[in-house]
Structure 1
Amino acid sequence: MRPWLRWLRRLLLAGLAFGLLGLLAVGAVIWTAWPQLPDVRELRQIELQLPLSIHSADGKLIALYGETRRYPAPIDTIPERVKRAFLAAEDARFYEHQGLDFNGIFRAVWLILSTDRTRVPGGSTITQQVARDFYLSNEYSYVRKFREMLLAIKMEQELSKDEILELYLNKIFFGNRAYGVAAAAEYYYGKSLDELTIAEAATLAGIPKFPSSANPISNPARAMERRNYYVLPRMLELGIIDRAEYEAALAEPNNAKPHEPPVEVDAPYVAEMVRQAMEERFGADALTGGYKVVTTLKSADQNAAVASVRNGLIEYDQRHGWRGAEGRIEDFATLDAAGLRGALARFPTIPDLQRAVVQEVDAARAVLRTADEAALELPATGLRWTGRTPAQVLKPGDVVRFRLDKDGQPQLVQLPQAQAALVSLEAETGALRALVGGFSFSQNKFNRATQAQRQPGSSFKPFVYSAAFERGYTPATIVMDAPVVFRDRAGNVWRPQNDKEDFAGPMRLREAMVQSRNLVSVRLLDAIGVQFAQRYITQFGFAPESLPPNLSMSLGTSSLTVLSVARGYATFGNGGYRIDPWFIARVEDRNGVVVMEHHPARACPTCAGPAGGTAAQPAVVDGFNFGAVAAPAAPATPAADATAATPGADARHDVPGPPEQATAARAIDPRTAFLVRSLLLDVVNRGTGTAAKVLGRADIGGKTGSTNDHRDAWFSGLGGDLATTVWVGKDDFTPLGRGEYGGRAALPIWIGYMGAALKDVPLSDPAPPAGLLTVTINPATGGLLPDGTPGGRTDYVKTEDYDRMMASGFGVETGEVQEEAFDVF
């Protein structure tokens, strides 16, 4: 044999030996690695990350939380042309290979050997990409690639092709926090999958390779290039589309733009409360587990509350004049659209208060330039409230805000310096119907409805009067409205005053409430005892430490939240029960199964006691029996609110079906609740709340409140099935300004909200409870009169008080009773 043949044979044998050794080595590695691979069958039950969605009671979207936008789509709901577009772009032989595309592998190997590139394209099938996305990292190494290939082979053995493709189409990242093809279709085009055109499907199919740098919003040129020169030609080549469809798709322009899910309810403060409650209950899984939270909010009520708060604050702000432009852009004339958007972006985004720069101005109008390059004419009528012409108020380069009135005309506005909060509860159950924590959540996330501790002023007086009615006082009891001086042991002197520093002399408690006489409240609290009143008022849910143990409590010097005051007023509206505020009705998992549901205790004047539980023990304070009263509840603080509203916070939440209806704990005598409610109705009928008569409802009652130097303005009241409280003030506790009482600053907001919330709601007209009598009284002395006595006034007294009054005899005077000397309005 010739020598070169001998050497050739030896080389072939050596090559064969090395090949066999290599195959044995690879087989050994596979034999070792295969058992260590994960069980890919678990992918059938994989739960992809889904956002937390929050909805109103009537199903409207409030908010979405989570880093991912994803809407999993079963494979049979994805249109064929969409699937084929992705197969053309990523893996045309997907339904033919067994997990590995050897053509692609050989192509990748050849590129590695023939070029100096460290990373080469191609080689990964859709199955391999699924394996990498679910089990491996993006590390570029031969070890990772080998495991990826093994996993792909195993997945093809355990899962069907459609199952693998479904995982891929729902997992892949499309940029802009969109994961999965359904989320991408909605975000980029605002469409469902079956609405996509061929061109749109091809554009989406071109994104996954370069999700951040080649999506049609961040880099439209590159996205169009990939669509027109790669994806669509591949679809034509593979016969997925015909020539006519190809030409039509090429001609279709790029119409992608951001499409956020439409938020239908303006309730960011409530959304944040829900998020905190869900994270406390479910941990980190709360934002990725696909939970759907249904709140107690009514969308129409909540949106009305937000609109009323904003209108009220803007009206307050305009009463105090124009403060000047919000800022300036000196070089605005040289800026293009992108530059102007960037310059205006320095100013906070406030819903309904659009930002603009003044472009031109004269005595009759100003021309505004908005962030989207629109030119808008602001007429002189749009800034009439400033008392000046446009040229006197504005100059080119000023950054201002405007909003459109009901006729679509722009009106100049400015960001109010004051803030406001509104809480509206169902008096019977404590369900939160509306909550506004400030003028704008985007401007300041501090929730003034649940976190701010402010003095309620005279709006606290109904709680003091309620305590007095337990001590035997009646609405007809005469108390002196006259100067009084208190001295403590240290020699300090306190001289409380009425708001107008006048005195009306002896007057009935009903009239004192109607006129909000401070000195009557102080004398009343002094008479019944501060300690008694403090302990009694805790029955409304207030924390004892929030109630000052001195006579100033009668003037509302307690530091309370808006939510806690609304909760207290609900007791007057529901017959004397203490309700717990709550705002999460139920929680559903990603499959729509109810995993948590709240079943509140309900005020029930006709019920004997809590259903399904041990009857509450009578509570006795200073010898006065309050009836069946549970222990004082925790105050309505933010932490307590979250607990009360968090599913699972007590045994009632985790019951799979509706439990036997529980009855709320009784807080006060139902007769006392009725008496105070009747006083609140009178405040609206002829007192400091008469502006609320515009609502045209006989069941509206409430109380104004103001504090020293007008730092706080309140209105709390009842109507229909609601108890609603509004507060207006400044975060830094500076005064609101002269004349900004509760009736001027807070009551218009309350009226605006209640007018909308009580539309078509039946009147609430509870009958006097047992043990309460209707009598005729002498308005001058508060004594009883025979029915029909001229000049007498109808009022209510408890049976035991009537017996005591009868012991004093009828207070009949000769002639008609004169009351003008004491009823000062």
Structure 2
Amino acid sequence: MFLLHQKPSPLYTSEHIFDFWNISVKWFKRILIAIFSLTLLGIGTIVAAYYYVLPDLPDVNSLKTVKLQTPLRIYSDDGLLISQFGEKRRVPIEYQDVPEQLINAVLDTEDARFFEHKGIDPIGIVRAAIILVTTGKKSQGASTITQQVARGFFLSREKTYIRKTKEIFLALKIEKALSKEEILTLYLNRSFLGNRAYGVGAAAQVYYGKDLEQLSLPEMAMIAGLPQAPSAANPIRNPERAKTRRNWVLSRMLEKRNITEAQYQEAINAPITARYHGAEIDLYAPYISEMAREYMVNKYGEEEAYTNGYNVYTTISSDLQLKAQSALRDNVFAYDQRHGYRGPIAELWTDAPMSTSDIITNLKSTSSVQGIMPAAVLAIEEQQATVMNARGEEITLEWNGLKWARKFITDRHQGTPPKKAEDILAVGQKVWIRNNGEYWQLSQIPQVSSATVSLEPSDGAIRTLVGGFSFTQSQYNRVTQAKRQLGSNIKPFIYSAALEKDYTLATLINNAPINKPDTRQGTAWRPKNSPDIYGGPTRLRMGLAQSVNVMSVRAMRHIGLDNTIDKLVEFGFDPNDLPRNESVALGSPSVTPLQVVTAFNVFTNGGYLVEPYFIKQVTDSYDNVIEEANPLLACTPSENDNNGTDDNLSDTELTSNSDANDPFAAMAAEFASSQQAEVNQANDTTAQSSAISQCGDENSRYAPRIITEQTAFLISEALKSVIWGGGNWSKGTGWNGTAWRASRLIKRHDIAGKTGTTNESRDTWFSGFNPTLTSTFWVGFDDHSRRLGRTSWVADGPENQISGAEAGAKTAGPGWNDFMNQALKGTEEKTTIPPKGIISARIDLATGLLTRKTDHTTSFEYFVEGTEPTEYATEETIDDDIFIENPTDDLFQ
């Protein structure tokens, strides 16, 4: 009962409340102390960490001058991309060039508070910490764009606490050193985005073949989603996963209200259009691009050349280069076809035909070469065949594309012309075909080689260069590396030395067998004409135009062997390549096509030896010029001619400041004289400046003159006769030069050239020029022992078919003719103006003497003033026995 009437105890008494308060205050103090201690510990830890990593922290100010790794690019003179070298593709961009929506896509995906934080994002760090505590996994989600820049430029990607600590401190330092725009620009240019693309500019090119401003919203979102997983989310390798990533980026943009719902819906339904786009090559010129690459690597080292973003602007004209490549290719095809068909690549089947899929698989295993592609013969009719290419397309080869294919027996013999398609092909054969621009035809990969190069006459700029038929087959550059016997291409240089001694174009040289041999080679060397025909005393002009061998040898004997070699060295030939015997007069030296075109260029530009060059300018990735060509210039005759007194000035002498050798004063005097101005050539600096402006400037370099302007003119006129011949055809006195085919195609009189053929037709040449371009073509086999051979005439052959022995006029000449015809098309024919000191006089064609007649037995001829004949021809004829070997018989005047 007592228990029933006892009062219950209160739940909380004042004593309890007091005790609870004391406990709470005590714990609160402890918590405050703990928080303060942890804060101090955190600060201490951060300070300690900072000083710990400080020695390893790089100077972030280097980012202000950072050089992004960009590839080496080679361009033509007119700015077309020829080639690109380097492992990383990068197109550096400026912040203001990036579309706003692309910036939004990147920030919404990678760092939405980028423009708000100071390099690190506390909210992101807390989120990453929670993930670490709850899952035990390290996350990089806390990294801001600034931290990613720090990691990308200065740190590795390993997931360690010390790397993360360095990353944070570097990000803080970067934010102080650079603006937000500068940081974001580095990020956009630096990020790896797959397929060797670094930076958004390169990604736009690689995946879409576009510049940044041309990208659509879905394409921008695709690129913005790549930095975190450039391989896994690659739209080429993994299009479905890439689409998922793209759409997530678009959802972030919608969430951040940077796009509308309508834009979002349209973008997420857009198809994946990405595909690989290689470097956008505008001009395929692999031999010149390889020369430029080699130059840059040799000068700057491989790593710097490939990564510093150099732009190399060559002297190549894209228009002329394409024409040179086409002319060489067509000429090689023509030679190859007239020598016959060498048969199929292989037999794919004989009885049971292969399935279409197996045929395609087999054909795809064989690479095309210069437009020549593999095909399988499916069916044969009377005079046509049906073939299948590697795309599974069926193509009909009509008779025009088959009838050329008479059987190849040797380089000198071909089989009889085919009458039916079955004479050539069989079903199941694997063959080559190509489209020649008019129709499909049976083809084959040529075995013969060729090269061509062209120069700008005034300064030696290489305007075209083709080092072979196919760079993919052979990277051997025959223009610069192949030394081949020169043949009759050497004769203009021999005759130029003779003219500078005492010969004229009217000089008679004995075109007769040489009975006095040259024994310097250890055997009796007796040169013969080709063909072995002799015409007696012949004028020098005609002898050069018709490439008469014995006349060239006699001219060299008149000059002297040592003097001849000295003159050839002046033309730029290596003395080590010049044999010291009389065979040099017929072209036994082995030289490169580049040396040949350089020497011929002397005749084009009036007597100056300019150095060929192919790099016009080199710029860095910011388009600052770091190299610029300063070529030797061929000054015009009116500026540099001093009546022959300065003809042999060297480059050093031309830059001398001495009064006696001041070229500027000399040019000024000549310029003033031509303008009939009263100028004091020693003191009038105004006149000097006027003259210099006509031939470069104060910093220009001047080419040495190696022959007189008059000699260059006379040889050029004689080389026109190589093409146009002479005489009067209606009167029976007309004659052809060796390159008469050029006159039929080009039909202009400002072209000149010279054929060249070596013994047994192992090398063939044609070198020539007009006042604006000098060019040489070579054709031969890389195997020096193999002859170019001959072909027999075909009754139903092509128009203007070539038959007989291969030679410079037939083998190399057509390529030159085709190129020059295309190169000069639409340009004005240049009128020839004889230089000062040249006169013309009417001569008797038989004797080379002056004449008062005006009929077909006479003609005007050019002479250097003072060298013209002084005697007149009489009615008497020359009765001397031209076959008597006597030194005095070699020259008839």
TM-score, normalising length from structure 2? 0.80
Q: Which residue of 1 aligns with 2:380?
A: 362
Confirm whether residue 813 of structure 1 aligns to residue 813 of structure 2.
no
Confirm whether residue 78 of structure 1 aligns to residue 98 of structure 2.
yes
Q: Which residue of 2 aligns with 1:249?
A: 267
Q: Which residue type is aligned with residue 288 of structure 1?
A: T
Give the share of equivalent positions with the same residue, in percent. 41
Aligned equivalents of 1:30, 1:336: Cα separation in 2: 66
Cα distance change on mapping 1:736 and 1:140 into 2, 3 Å:
farther
Cα distance change on mapping 1:85 and 1:65 into 2, 3 Å:
same
Q: Which residue of 2 aligns with 1:581?
A: 612
Q: How does 1:84-95 map to 2 (within 5 A)?
A: 84-95=104-115
Secondary structure at 2:281's aligned position in 1? coil
Cα distance change on mapping 1:177 and 1:365 into 2, 3 Å:
farther
Confirm whether residue 205 of structure 1 aligns to residue 224 of structure 2.
yes
Contact 1:358 / 1:366 at 8 angstroms: preserved in 2?
no
**Residues 690-737 of structure 1 deviation map (CA, whole Å, 9 limit, x = unaligned):** 111121111111111111221111101111311111001111121122
Cα distance change on mapping 1:491 and 1:689 into 2, 3 Å:
closer
Contact 1:539 / 1:668 at 8 angstroms: preserved in 2?
no
Q: How does 1:31-46 map to 2 (within 5 A)?
A: 31-34=51-54, 37-46=57-66
Q: Which residue of 1 aligns with 2:693?
A: none
Cα distance change on mapping 1:220 and 1:91 into 2, 3 Å:
same
Task: Structure 1: give runs of 5+ residues left out of the alignment.
Answer: 619-625, 634-656
**Residues 105-135 of structure 1 deviation map (CA, whole Å, 9 limit, x = unaligned):** 4444455455576x64523222211111111
Aligned equivalents of 1:332, 1:600: Cα separation in 2: 63
Cα distance change on mapping 1:394 and 1:789 into 2, 3 Å:
closer
Q: Which residue of 2 aligns with 1:274?
A: 292
Confirm whether residue 676 of structure 1 aligns to residue 715 of structure 2.
yes
Contact 1:52 / 1:65 at 8 angstroms: preserved in 2?
yes
Confirm whether residue 720 of structure 1 aligns to residue 771 of structure 2.
yes
Q: Which residue of 1 aligns with 2:565?
A: 534
**Residues 474-497 of structure 1 deviation map (CA, whole Å, 9 limit, x = unaligned):** 222222222224152786222222
Aligned equivalents of 1:113, 1:344: Cα separation in 2: 60
Q: Which residue type is aligned with residue 825 of structure 2?
A: K
Partner of residue 237 from structure 1, selected from 255, 258, 268: 255
Contact 2:451 / 2:478 at 8 angstroms: preserved in 1?
yes
Q: Which residue of 1 aligns with 2:193?
A: 174
Cα distance change on mapping 1:501 and 1:788 into 2, 3 Å:
closer
Q: How does 1:435-514 map to 2 (within 5 A)?
A: 435-485=465-515, 486-488=517-519, 492-514=523-545
Confirm whether residue 736 of structure 1 aligns to residue 820 of structure 2.
no
Aligned equivalents of 1:505, 1:251: Cα separation in 2: 89
Larger Rg: 1 or 2?
2
Q: Which residue of 2 aligns with 1:648?
A: none
Confirm whether residue 711 of structure 1 aligns to residue 762 of structure 2.
yes
Moved more, 48-57 or 442-451: 48-57
Contact 1:423 / 1:725 at 8 angstroms: preserved in 2?
yes
Aligned equivalents of 2:315, 2:520: Cα separation in 1: 51
The size of the alignment, in residue pairs, is 776
Partner of residue 820 from structure 2, selected from 754, 762, 767: 754
**Residues 149-181 of structure 1 deviation map (CA, whole Å, 9 limit, x = unaligned):** 211222233333322222111111112221111
Contact 2:454 / 2:464 at 8 angstroms: preserved in 1?
yes
Confirm whether residue 569 of structure 1 aligns to residue 600 of structure 2.
yes
**Residues 434-458 of structure 1 deviation map (CA, whole Å, 9 limit, x = unaligned):** 1111112222111111111011111
Confirm whether residue 322 of structure 1 aligns to residue 372 of structure 2.
no
Aligned equivalents of 1:380, 1:233: Cα separation in 2: 63
Cα distance change on mapping 1:113 and 1:674 into 2, 3 Å:
same
Q: Which residue of 1 aligns with 2:684?
A: none
Aligned equivalents of 2:232, 2:643: Cα separation in 1: 66
Aligned equivalents of 1:185, 1:277: Cα separation in 2: 30
C-alpha displacement of 1:79: 1.6
Q: How does 1:732-811 map to 2 (within 5 A)?
A: 732-733=783-784, 734-738=786-790, 739-786=805-852, 788=854, 791-802=857-868, 805-806=869-870, 809-811=871-873
Q: How does 1:532-611 map to 2 (within 5 A)?
A: 532-607=563-638, 609=640
Contact 2:762 / 2:780 at 8 angstroms: preserved in 1?
yes
C-alpha displacement of 1:390: 5.0
Q: Which residue type is aligned with residue 53 of structure 2?
A: A
Q: Which residue of 2 aligns with 1:523?
A: 554
The two structures, once aligned, show a CA RMSD in angstroms of 3.5
Aligned equivalents of 1:424, 1:318: Cα separation in 2: 26
**Residues 9-61 of structure 1 deviation map (CA, whole Å, 9 limit, x = unaligned):** 99997897577445423321214434753332332332322233332222222
Secondary structure at 1:784's aligned position in 2? coil
Partner of residue 746 from structure 2, selected from 695, 699, 703: 695
Contact 2:606 / 2:637 at 8 angstroms: preserved in 1?
no
Contact 2:521 / 2:581 at 8 angstroms: preserved in 1?
no
Q: Which residue type is aligned with residue 873 of structure 2?
A: G
C-alpha displacement of 1:603: 2.0
Confirm whether residue 434 of structure 1 aligns to residue 464 of structure 2.
yes
Secondary structure at 2:702's aligned position in 1? coil
**Residues 231-256 of structure 1 deviation map (CA, whole Å, 9 limit, x = unaligned):** 23333333333332222222211111
Secondary structure at 1:592's aligned position in 2? coil
Contact 1:539 / 1:632 at 8 angstroms: preserved in 2?
no
Q: How does 1:27-66 map to 2 (within 5 A)?
A: 27-34=47-54, 37-66=57-86
Aligned equivalents of 1:11, 1:140: Cα separation in 2: 33
Q: Which residue of 2 aligns with 1:645?
A: none
Contact 1:348 / 1:442 at 8 angstroms: preserved in 2?
no
Contact 1:607 / 1:663 at 8 angstroms: preserved in 2?
no
Aligned equivalents of 1:68, 1:748: Cα separation in 2: 43
Contact 1:717 / 1:725 at 8 angstroms: preserved in 2?
yes
Aligned equivalents of 2:526, 2:328: Cα separation in 1: 36
Q: Which residue of 1 aligns with 2:204?
A: 185
Q: Which residue type is aligned with residue 689 of structure 1?
A: A
Aligned equivalents of 1:333, 1:664: Cα separation in 2: 66
Contact 2:194 / 2:230 at 8 angstroms: preserved in 1?
yes
Moved more, 697-706 or 69-78: 69-78
Partner of residue 423 from structure 1, selected from 453, 457, 470: 453
C-alpha displacement of 1:520: 1.7
C-alpha displacement of 1:549: 1.2
Aligned equivalents of 2:571, 2:713: Cα separation in 1: 15
Aligned equivalents of 1:62, 1:340: Cα separation in 2: 32
Aligned equivalents of 1:122, 1:372: Cα separation in 2: 48
Q: Which residue of 1 aligns with 2:886?
A: none
Moved more, 726-735 or 363-372: 363-372
C-alpha displacement of 1:344: 5.1
TM-score, normalising length from structure 1? 0.86
C-alpha displacement of 1:304: 0.5
Contact 1:791 / 1:816 at 8 angstroms: preserved in 2?
no
Q: Which residue type is aligned with residue 40 of structure 1?
A: V
Contact 2:843 / 2:851 at 8 angstroms: preserved in 1?
yes
C-alpha displacement of 1:301: 0.8
Q: Which residue type is aligned with residue 508 of structure 2?
A: I
Q: Which residue of 2 aligns with 1:385?
A: 404
C-alpha displacement of 1:461: 0.8
Q: Which residue of 2 aligns with 1:650?
A: none
C-alpha displacement of 1:226: 2.3
